[in-house]
Amino acid sequence: MESEDLYAIVYDAVRQAVADSNTDPDTRLLRRFEEGSVSFADNTGTVVKQMPASTMFKKVTSIREKLRVLEQKLNNHGSLSQSDKAEMQVYISRCYGSLTSFNFLFAEDADKFKS
C-alpha cells in the first residue's frame, strides 16, 4: 500500500471523527472544565474561535472512537498483508500519541489516551 493511500485513509477517518460529535457516554470531562471554554487566538491576541470545552472534548473523544473503528477494520481486513497492517498500525499509534496532549481534559485516568 502506498503511503499516499494510507494517508488518505487516516485523513478521512480523522475528518469523519471531527464531524461526528458522539462520545462514549461513560467518558467524562474533568469537572473543572464542564462550564469552561477553549479559545484560539492569533498572534495579535485576537480570539478567532471560541467553543465550549465540552464541545472540544466531544470532538477529541470522537476521534478516539473513530480510530478504534479504523483499527478494528484494519485488523480484520482480509486482503492486507501483515506487514501492511503493521505499517498502518504505526500511524494509528502515532495518532493516539498526538492525542495524549488532551489527557488533561479527562476525569478518569482509564479514559486517557495512551501512545
Q: What pLDDT is recorded for position 23? A: 47
CA angle 108, 66, 109 (to 5 degrees): 10
pLDDT tens track for 30-85: 888 888 999 999 999 999 999 999 999 999 999 999 999 999 999 888 898 999 99
Q: What is the pTM of this model?
A: 0.65
The predicted pLDDT at position 25 comes to 56
Query: Can you say whether residue 45 is alpha, beta or left, with left for phi > 0 and alpha for psi between -120 and 50 degrees?
Result: left
Q: What is the pLDDT of residue 18?
A: 56
DSSP 32: G
| pLDDT at residue number 27 | 80
The three-state secondary structure class of 49 is: strand
